């Protein structure tokens, strides 16, 4: 039987072994073990309590560490998803660990800020895209061809006007073609050099210059190119303006000035020439009367004949200079004259050339010196004959035409109005632009030496100008030539008396003219003849008055040329308000419109009132 001391030692040893085992398990992370033994020994019990408390604290620590690890992992996963663009990820803000909770809150706050930042960027991007779209719409809608090119010369953007100018579509051009494809090879090397220099320093290349554009059909157009760099890029933007028409009009004006100068010079030369010829002819005639020797008289007669031919030359120079006195002006029936003269023309041109006379059904009369008609027709017919050595077709046409303002814009020397058009056309060898430029100059001829004086066409030019007309030539090499002579018509009919009572009216008339004096004059005349007159000094006031009184206004008389809104624009807007409104366009010179009555300001009062009454009486 063991002693009590031995029992105590055995019991203490067991407790210590148990404590040691539990400590090892705690160290290994197993905090589930507890010491359930109680001891009467306070020291042993204190040891048991300490070990149990340690187990609990380690368990709490392990749980906290586990929660912290899981929270951080979850937060890092949220950060990873946010980094990948998944903004639906949200960090948990529920945790017993303050650090994990604060980290979740911080991540979510940063996420919200980042979302706000992205939203702002998107808003700015939308605004930029909107501005860019507006810019593209603006560039597309302007009446000037625009293109934007990259550094490698590829066209990034072009507008509709550039499509029209080149004949290519946007789908064919943008991103696929280089701008070098649209310009003539004559200046291409220099333009490429400008392109490169501009990207080094824009000041090294000219901002604006003229060049030649080539469309998809091979047509060459003269254009004005304005180029600039787009800031902070290597791209350039260019506007391309077709100045072919402007150049042509400029050439018309220069040619007209040249012909005026030549006419003045011809006049001065002819006058001096006539002074010399008068002396030569006078003394030669006196000498011829005094000489009895027949052989000498023959020589003198040759001098007289040569002087007479020189006098004829001087006359032609005076005609070109429009200083020759006009002969007897008659009212000529042009239809009958051309029919009678056609037999003579047939004899001149020969049987191998077909002659066609194209006359209108109505008879056309014109006040002219008949000899001038003969000179015009003979010179143009003989020129046509010489241009068709192997035969062909000569056509002479006649008709009345009306030239409007639009035509006068492209032909600035031609005034709008009514004209008689005489057209002489052949199917001969034609001529190039170089010859056409000199065609009407005195002494210029393409005929062999001794077969032409070079004064035929200059004489025709002078005659036409004497009647304040115009002559235009259209010709292509191997495709023939057409001369068009425009002679302004004049009212040659007798004035018929007009019953003034028939000119009176009681309707309301809207009178629109920016010039106060003629407006007041016409208004007073209309009021005197019984009309109610509403006056407007410009287009905007006219539209306001018309809107207020459209049901009572029977007729609108609108001046053609006005500032801000032109007469045609006012008429267009009035018709939009009231399509069946009766209208008259008033102008200081003759004009003609297809669907509108026109009125000249310089007509007599009776004629003006008669025209107004005529429009008002017309049904519809």
CB-based contact 469:488 (threshold 8 Å): yes
The CATH number of the domain where 187 resides is what?
3.30.450.20
The CATH number of the domain where 418 resides is what?
3.30.565.10
| pLDDT (average), residues 267-292 | 67
Where are any strands of DSSP class E within 190-336? Answer: 208-214, 220-229, 236-242, 330-333
| Residue 4 CB coordination number (10 Å) | 7
User: Lowest-pLDDT range, 220-229, 334-343, 509-518, 588-597?
Assistant: 588-597
Q: Do 530 and 560 have their domain in common? A: yes
Q: Do 125 and 160 have their domain in common? A: no
Q: Do 234 and 117 have their domain in common? A: no
| pLDDT (average), residues 455-470 | 76
User: Lowest-pLDDT range, 25-29, 47-51, 181-185, 219-223?
Assistant: 25-29
What is the SS3 assignment for 213?
Answer: strand
In a domain, 375, yes or no: yes
Task: State how far the Cα of 459 lies from the Cα of 380, in Å rounded to an integer.
Answer: 11
Q: Do 237 and 259 have their domain in common? A: no
Q: Which residue has the higher pLDDT, 325 or 124?
A: 124
The CATH number of the domain where 114 resides is what?
1.20.120
Task: State how far the Cα of 464 lies from the Cα of 447, in Å rounded to an integer.
Answer: 23
Task: State how far the Cα of 556 lies from the Cα of 578, in Å rounded to an integer.
Answer: 11
In a domain, 607, yes or no: yes
Task: State how far the Cα of 525 lies from the Cα of 521, in Å rounded to an integer.
Answer: 6
Sign of the CA dihedral with 34 first, then 38, 44, and 46 last: positive
| pLDDT (average), residues 429-433 | 83
Quote the pLDDT of residue 257.
52
Q: Which residue has the higher pLDDT, 397 or 95?
A: 397
CA gyration radius, the chain? 50
In a domain, 424, yes or no: yes
Quote the pLDDT of residue 1.
43
Quote the pLDDT of residue 493.
38
Condensed to tens digits (0 to 9), the pLDDT of residues 378-389 reads: 888 888 888 888
Condensed to tens digits (0 to 9), the pLDDT of residues 127-165 reads: 777 776 666 666 666 668 888 899 999 998 888 888 888
Q: Which residue has the higher pLDDT, 42 or 449?
A: 42
Condensed to tens digits (0 to 9), the pLDDT of residues 333-359 reads: 899 888 888 877 887 788 888 988 988
CB-based contact 224:244 (threshold 8 Å): no
Closest CA to 391 of 342, 426, 424: 426
| Residue 168 CB coordination number (10 Å) | 20
Select from 269, 288, 320 the last residue of a domain.
320
User: Lowest-pLDDT range, 325-329, 571-575, 580-584, 599-603?
Assistant: 325-329
Quote the pLDDT of residue 265.
52
Task: State how far the Cα of 504 lies from the Cα of 287, in Å rounded to an integer.
Answer: 75
Closest CA to 68 of 80, 76, 56, 79: 76
Mean residue pLDDT of the chain comes to 78
Look at residue 434 and tell me whether its pLDDT is greater than 90.
no
Classify residue 535 by burial, with Cβ atoms within 10 Å: 0-12, 13-18, 19+: middle
Quote the pLDDT of residue 509.
92
CA dihedral 146, 151, 156, 159 (to 10 degrees): 0
What are the tokens at 607? 């004629």
In a domain, 530, yes or no: yes
Q: Do 563 and 518 have their domain in common? A: yes
pLDDT band at 258 (very low <50, low <70, confident <90, very high): low
User: Lowest-pLDDT range, 179-193, 351-365, 396-410, 475-489?
Assistant: 396-410
pLDDT band at 524 (very low <50, low <70, confident <90, very high): confident
Say which residues have a Cβ less than 8 Å from residue 405's Cβ, sequence separation at least 6: 416, 560, 591
Number of H helices, E strands in the chain: 17, 17
Cα distances from 333 to residues 124, 276, 362, 420, 463, in angstroms, run 78, 40, 11, 12, 19
Select from 225, 242, 259 the last residue of a domain.
242
Say which residues have a Cβ less than 8 Å from residue 112's Cβ, sequence separation at least 6: none
User: Lowest-pLDDT range, 15-19, 27-31, 267-271, 584-588?
Assistant: 267-271
DSSP assignment letter at 578: -
Go through the chain and tell me how many residues it has: 620
Task: State how far the Cα of 21 lies from the Cα of 29, in Å rounded to an integer.
Answer: 13
Quote the pLDDT of residue 247.
66
β-bridge partners, 394: 355, 426
Helix 294-320 to helix 244-290 angle (10° resolution) is 160
Select from 453, 488, 523 the last residue of a domain.
488
User: Could you give the number of structural domains in the chain?
Assistant: 5
pLDDT band at 322 (very low <50, low <70, confident <90, very high): very low
CB-based contact 312:273 (threshold 8 Å): no
pLDDT band at 535 (very low <50, low <70, confident <90, very high): very high
| pLDDT (average), residues 579-586 | 89
| pLDDT (average), residues 46-56 | 78
Look at residue 510 and tell me whether its pLDDT is greater than 90.
yes
Task: State how far the Cα of 533 lies from the Cα of 556, in Å rounded to an integer.
Answer: 10
Which H or E run includes 287? helix 244-290
Where are any strands of DSSP class E within 179-254? Answer: 208-214, 220-229, 236-242
Q: Do 360 and 476 have their domain in common? A: yes
Task: State how far the Cα of 389 lies from the Cα of 421, in Å rounded to an integer.
Answer: 27
Q: Do 524 and 603 have their domain in common? A: yes
Q: Do 344 and 290 have their domain in common? A: no
Look at residue 122 and tell me whether its pLDDT is greater than 80.
yes
CA dihedral 298, 303, 308, 314 (to 10 degrees): 170
Condensed to tens digits (0 to 9), the pLDDT of residues 70-107 reads: 777 777 777 787 778 777 778 777 777 777 778 777 77
Task: State how far the Cα of 202 lies from the Cα of 334, in Å rounded to an integer.
Answer: 64
In a domain, 493, yes or no: no
What are the tokens at 262? 């030549």
Closest CA to 376 of 420, 433, 412: 420
Look at residue 288 and tell me whether its pLDDT is greater than 70.
yes
Q: Do 348 and 386 have their domain in common? A: yes
CB-based contact 587:600 (threshold 8 Å): yes
| pLDDT (average), residues 426-432 | 87
Say which residues have a Cβ less than 8 Å from residue 32's Cβ, sequence separation at least 6: none
Quote the pLDDT of residue 532.
92
Closest CA to 322 of 444, 442, 403: 442
Q: Do 251 and 238 have their domain in common? A: no
What are the tokens at 157? 């953007």
Please tell me the number of Cα atoms within 13 Å of 117 on its side-chain side: 7
Quote the pLDDT of residue 589.
53
In a domain, 325, yes or no: no
Quote the pLDDT of residue 321.
45
- String of DSSP letters for 445-480: --SPTTS--S-HHHHHHHHHHHTT-EEEEEEETTTE
In a domain, 115, yes or no: yes
Structural domain range at position 301: 247-320
Look at residue 492 and tell me whether its pLDDT is greater than 60.
no
């Amino acid at each position: 039987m063991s002693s009590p001391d031995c029992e105590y030692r055995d019991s203490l040893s067991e407790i210590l072994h148990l404590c040691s085992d539990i400590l090892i398990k705690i160290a290994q992370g197993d905090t589930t073990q507890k010491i359930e033994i109680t001891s009467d020994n306070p020291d042993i019990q204190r040891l048991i309590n300490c070990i149990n408390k340690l187990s609990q604290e380690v368990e709490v620590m392990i749980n906290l560490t586990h929660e912290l690890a899981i929270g951080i992992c979850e937060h890092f996963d949220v950060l990873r998803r946010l980094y990948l663009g998944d903004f639906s990820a949200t960090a948990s803000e529920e945790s017993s660990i303050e650090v994990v909770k604060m980290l979740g809150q911080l991540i979510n706050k940063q996420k919200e800020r980042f979302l706000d930042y992205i939203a702002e960027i998107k808003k700015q991007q939308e605004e930029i895209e909107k501005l860019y779209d507006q810019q593209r719409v603006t560039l597309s809608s302007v009446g000037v061809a625009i293109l934007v090119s990259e550094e490698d010369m590829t066209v990034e953007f072009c507008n509709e006007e550039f499509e029209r100018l080149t004949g290519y579509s946007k789908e064919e051009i943008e991103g696929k073609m280089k701008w070098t494809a649209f310009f003539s090879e004559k200046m291409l090397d220099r333009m490429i050099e400008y392109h490169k220099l501009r990207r080094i320093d824009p000041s090294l290349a000219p901002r604006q210059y003229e060049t030649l554009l080539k469309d998809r059909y091979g047509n060459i157009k003269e254009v004005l190119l304005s180029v600039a760099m787009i800031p902070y890029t290597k791209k350039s933007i260019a506007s391309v303006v077709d100045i072919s028409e402007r150049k042509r009009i400029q050439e018309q004006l220069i040619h007209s000035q040249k012909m005026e100068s030549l006419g003045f010079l011809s006049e001065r030369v002819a006058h001096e020439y006539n002074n010399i010829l008068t002396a030569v002819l006078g003394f030669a005639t006196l000498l011829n009367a005094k000489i009895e020797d027949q052989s000498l008289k023959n020589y003198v007669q040759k001098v007289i004949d040569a002087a007479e031919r020189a006098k004829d030359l001087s006359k032609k120079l005076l005609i070109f200079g429009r200083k020759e006195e006009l002969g007897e002006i008659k009212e000529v029936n042009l239809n009958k004259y051309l029919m009678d003269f056609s037999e003579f023309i047939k004899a001149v041109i020969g049987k191998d050339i077909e002659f066609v006379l194209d006359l209108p059904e109505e008879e056309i009369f014109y006040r002219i010196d008949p000899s001038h008609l003969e000179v015009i027709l003979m010179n143009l017919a003989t020129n046509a004959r010489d241009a068709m050595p192997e035969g062909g077709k000569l056509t002479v046409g006649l008709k009345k035409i009306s030239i409007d303002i639009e035509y006068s814009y492209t032909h600035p020397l031609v005034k709008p109005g009514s004209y008689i058009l005489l057209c002489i056309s052949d199917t001969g060898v034609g001529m190039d632009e170089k010859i056409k430029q000199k065609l009407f100059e005195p002494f210029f001829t393409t005929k062999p030496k001794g077969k032409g004086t070079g004064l035929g066409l200059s004489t025709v030019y002078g005659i036409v100008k004497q009647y304040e007309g115009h002559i235009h030539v259209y010709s292509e090499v191997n495709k023939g030539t057409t001369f068009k002579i425009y002679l302004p018509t004049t009212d040659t009919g007798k004035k018929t008396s007009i019953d003034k009572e028939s000119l009176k009216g009681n309707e309301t008339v809207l009178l629109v003219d920016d010039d106060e004096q003629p407006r007041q004059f016409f208004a007073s005349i209309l009021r005197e003849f019984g009309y109610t007159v509403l006056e407007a000094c410009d287009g905007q006031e006219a539209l306001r008055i018309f809107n207020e009184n459209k049901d009572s206004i029977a007729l609108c008389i609108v001046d053609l040329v006005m500032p801000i809104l032109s007469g045609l624009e006012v008429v267009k807007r009035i018709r939009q308000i009231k399509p069946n409104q009766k209208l008259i366009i008033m102008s200081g010179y003759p004009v003609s419109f297809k669907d509108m009555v026109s009125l000249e300001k310089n007509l007599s009062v009776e004629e003006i009132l008669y025209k107004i009454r005529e429009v008002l009486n017309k049904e519809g």
